[in-house]
Structure 1
């Protein structure tokens, strides 16, 4: 999915970039037809951009953002949601180690950026998994570790306590992607967290943290 700005975003002072795998891709689609709109209801307070890539793996993060930075101004707030697709292909520890390295690079590329880490969601189905229980444990441990790295770097974590695998109505039939109801909860959690920072921050890049 190419970088997509929300309607009216070009005149807004605070730039927000949501970047990640298919949940971000489908969240943009849902937001565009929701009561929030692709700008998540922020109007002129913020310019919301979406960079969602279906099937995205962690190794694709830096190239995707590098391409963005070649064409667009750096964001003031970067919302990251990726990594679950790597589970089962590599260890949680290796993902955390790469996250640590990449977060340092992102701060060099975008000085002063506020990073918000989206805590990995539960899945009803872990594709190609020998043990869904083992991957669920790895999900909790690795995502919490990355969240701690983000917080230590001055960022914050977006949690989704209301999106849980025991509620099948929140998921599509594949057990991975969110239904419209699940996507609405996902978007609502992100929108509220962003609103907290926009309310306590300001219009400029240096004041958003």
Structure 2
């Protein structure tokens, strides 16, 4: 029976394809839970700096300068919780563990969003910013909150026309972030004099800050904290 034979082979191919799909799904890596809480010494810190690669490299630079806590008055310490590549969409997911298990901080900094500007619409970013800040401010109603403006970049990885659109988007997100943070009882905002006209503040990639840029960044953070504490 030729027809029957073709049907059997077809069923075998279908079963094999099905198993292949199942194997492929099983081989896909599971999403790892990433948290801001990466303190290996398990010490509660009263200042949380939450964000993307900028806070990450600022923390590395502060450590290199032997001032991880920026020479603040005794008793104050900083958690430099930056995750490279982070966007607002994953913010709440990353902060849940420290919110639940850590002592409420005195000061919380927010600095991220640059990675979102080329990926998401303004409507989506606004929604994520509002939900994320409300999540933290509801959890820690007595803390001080600091919005740090998204910085310009020399290179956004796009053409000049789209770069101009991203710059407009960046300004609008910063305006929105300041608006949301001002709804809290204790709020502060930081704007840096760092932009694409100051190339010495950037690394060769046109995205991350150079040592000079990081030093200015860190010194500004310290000045803000001395006013708050």
TM (norm. structure 1) is 0.84
Once the two structures are TM-superposed, the CA of residue 187 in structure 1 deviates from its matched residue by 0.8
- 1:88 maps to 2:122: no
Larger radius of gyration: 2
Q: Any residues of structure 2 matched to 1:157-168 within 5 Å, and which?
A: 157-161=189-193, 163-168=194-199
If asked which structure has higher relative contact order (CA below 8 Å, sep 6+), I would say 1
- Contact 2:88–2:132 at 8 Å: present in 1 too? no
Structure 2: tracts of 5 or more residues without a match: 1-34
2:37 match:
3
Q: Distance in 2 between matches of 1:2 and 1:85?
A: 17
Q: What SS is found at the alignment partner of 1:50?
A: strand
Q: Distance in 2 between matches of 1:191 and 1:6?
A: 24
Query: Could you tell me how far 1:140 is from its partner in structure 2?
Result: 1.0
Q: Could you say which residue in structure 2 is the equivalent of 1:70?
A: 100
Determine the structure 2 residue equivalent to 1:120.
150
- After superposing on structure 2, the runs of 4+ consecutive aligned residues of structure 1 that deviate more than 2 Å are 1-7, 127-130
Cα 1:40–1:123 shift into 2, 3 Å? same
Q: String of CA shifts for 1:11-46, please: whole Å, max 9, x gaps.
A: xxx8100010000110000011226x1101114141
For the residue of structure 1 that corresponds to 2:46, the secondary structure is strand
* 8 A contact 2:53–2:86 mirrored in 1: yes
TM-score, normalised with respect to structure 2: 0.77
| 78-87 vs 64-73, greater mean Cα deviation | 64-73
Which residue in 2 is equivalent to 1:16? 47
1:169, distance to aligned residue in structure 2 (A):
0.9
Compute the RMSD of aligned alpha carbons. Answer: 2.2
The count of residues paired between Structure 1 and Structure 2 equals 192
Residue pair 2:37, 2:97 contacting (<8 A) in 1 also = no
Structure 1 stretches lacking a partner, 5+ long: 199-209
Pick closer, same or farther for the CA change 1:110–1:15 going to 2, 3 Å.
Answer: same
Q: Would you say the 8 A contact 2:36–2:95 is kept in 1?
A: no
SS at match of 2:134: helix
Q: Which residue in the other structure is 1:207 paired with?
A: none
CA distance in 2, matches of 1:79, 1:97: 19
Offset of 1:94 from its aligned partner?
2.1
- Deviation, 1:5, is 5.5
